[in-house]
Amino acid sequence: MNRDKNILLLSEVSVWDLIVIGGGATGLGAALDAASRGMKVLLIEQYDFSKGTSSKSTKLIHGGVRYLKNAEFKLVRKALQERYILKKNAPHLVQNKDFIIPIYSWIHFIFYGIGLKLYDAISGKWSFGGTKFLNKKATIEHLNSINTKGLKGGVKYKDGQFDDARFAISLAHTIEIEGGAVLNYMEYLSPKIENKSITGIIALDKIDQKEFHLSSKYIINATGVFSNKLMMSIASKFKIKASRGTHIVVDRSFLDSQNAIMIPKTIDGRVLFVIPWNDKTLIGTTDEESNEIDIDLSTPLKDIDFILENVKHYLFKYPQKKDIKSVFTGLRPLVSNNDNSSTKELSRAHIIHKSGEGIIHVLGGKWTTYRLMGSEAIDYLLRDKILQFGKSTTSSIPLFGFKDDVDFQDPLHVYGTELKRLKTFGSMVSLSNHILISEAMILYAIQVEMAINLEDVLARRIRCLFIDANETIKIAPKVAQIMAKALKKDDTWTAKQLDLFLPLASKYIV
């Protein structure tokens, strides 16, 4: 991906077929679908790709076992089908993972067993594997960190795991391969209006502070929790409620297994996951309505206390605040019809709606269904011109880096077929003894993956900040110096990058 080249396209293309506003999962999915049909597509993102919600998920590609309780069978079925497609199209990024529900009451064998057998039945030909019942001995063998007091056994089922930010970068690459253009740090300012009609948008390049007036036949709003800024005439019909999802990352010793734990019921009625991730243990998530809408939300201590309190009943060695390596919080965009429902009660289904101004709004949804949301949005806007551009083909498009025989124990598996190329960019010796980050990975992020700022490299191209925040702060000056040399920047640029990054990184520390 080349940002300078894509900036030039803004002057060369007189009218885009489609401009997508928002570079998270939803926007990337819509842009890829449109580009693959032959549309002239531009995607803009105010910050960096997946900086918001889409890099702060629980790292799951799943149908959503807990939605069965609310009889959302249609949502679960669609998500399970999409899970299969995502694994097929990006086998270097999506892995089949064993999840185990520890059972401490005999009646729960029946209750959760029936639910998961139903989950298997709904998945049908898209199954990742069937549910199995485990006795106490087998459960301990699968989860040697489990609290054995009162343990009866476990129920094992299959679901998917991925790296959300790396998946987003692969999508951005694939959009360009299909003929589209993507730009980070390009902010939507306002609609472009001619003869009382919206004919495009006015956008600001936040790098060079240059304004662009861009014409487009169609506009899609895929800005998630920030959608209210663009919703205009439909604000009275739909409202985006932000649900705060917090996660903590601790040492791998607290799980010490390649299997994940699904805690079936927390004190607020949700589920909680304990998952191996990047040689650490990821635990989450919460679900609290948030009135604060911020791209870099600070984590309330009550969220951390909630996670620690609920997980300690399931692990014989359970984490405390001092053990937390990183904490991060994202905001889920949930669609409400302006009622008083709590975020836990709101569906994760998505809505596609055209406002009176002509903007297509894609609201709600979840990472697992990003591709479906994209194809349905493009079907919607092309409903009278489907023959001109054809039907969606994204169910069979391999994503950038496609490789179907990766070793998921290798932290570099996310590069897929690009791994050989990555190693040509410089030294592969890690700058840290605790996180894998090398000169080659940094230079590749800048030159191939459109990383602009220090945060882009340390948070999303390489997941350092999410893995160990304190260690990331220690190595940040080294990384900034490598970036400055590659970008031909001076000491002032390096100092400014550190001034911007260090306060942000402190939000990931308890």
What are 469's two structure tokens? 């925040």
Cα–Cα distance, 102 to 85 (Å, whole number): 29
CB atoms within 10 A of CB 124: 11
Residue 61 is inside which H or E element, if any?
strand 60-61
The tens digit of pLDDT for each residue in 218-273 reads 999 999 888 766 765 555 567 788 899 999 999 999 999 999 999 998 888 889 99
pLDDT the model gives residue 341: 58
Does residue 343 register a pLDDT over 60?
no
pLDDT the model gives residue 344: 55
The tens digit of pLDDT for each residue in 71-106 reads 889 989 999 999 999 999 999 999 999 999 999 999
Phi/psi zone of residue 239: left (φ > 0), alpha (ψ -120 to 50 degrees), beta? beta
0.85 cut: is pTM over it? yes
Cα–Cα distance, 446 to 419 (Å, whole number): 15
Beta strand pairing status for 288-289 and 239-251? antiparallel
Does residue 39 register a pLDDT over 70?
yes
Which of 112-116, 138-142, 212-216 is predicted with the least confidence, judged by mean pLDDT?
Answer: 112-116
Cα–Cα distance, 5 to 386 (Å, whole number): 30
Contact 271, 395 (CB under 8 A): no
CB atoms within 10 A of CB 493: 15
The tens digit of pLDDT for each residue in 358-376 reads 789 998 889 999 999 999 9
Q: If pLDDT is split at 50, 70 and 90, which confidence band does 342 have?
A: low
Does residue 507 register a pLDDT over 70?
yes
Structural domain spans, the chain: 3-53+166-238+341-396, 95-160+240-336, 423-506
Q: 285: cis peptide before it, omega within 30°?
A: yes
Distance of CA 192 to the CA centre of its chain: 30
258, with CB counted inside 10 A (0-12, 13-18, 19+), is exposed
Average pLDDT of the chain, as a whole number: 93
The tens digit of pLDDT for each residue in 172-218 reads 999 999 999 999 999 999 999 998 889 999 999 999 999 999 999 99
CB atoms within 10 A of CB 121: 11
pLDDT the model gives residue 49: 98
Q: Does domain 3-53+166-238+341-396 have CATH number 3.50.50.60?
A: yes
Contact 147, 315 (CB under 8 A): yes
Instruction: Assign domain 95-160+240-336 to its CATH superfamily.
Output: D-Amino Acid Oxidase, subunit A, domain 2 (3.30.9.10)
pLDDT the model gives residue 136: 97
Does residue 63 register a pLDDT over 80?
yes
Tell me what the mean pLDDT of segment 407-433 comes to: 97
313, with CB counted inside 10 A (0-12, 13-18, 19+), is middle
The tens digit of pLDDT for each residue in 164-174 reads 999 999 999 99
Cα–Cα distance, 488 to 400 (Å, whole number): 28
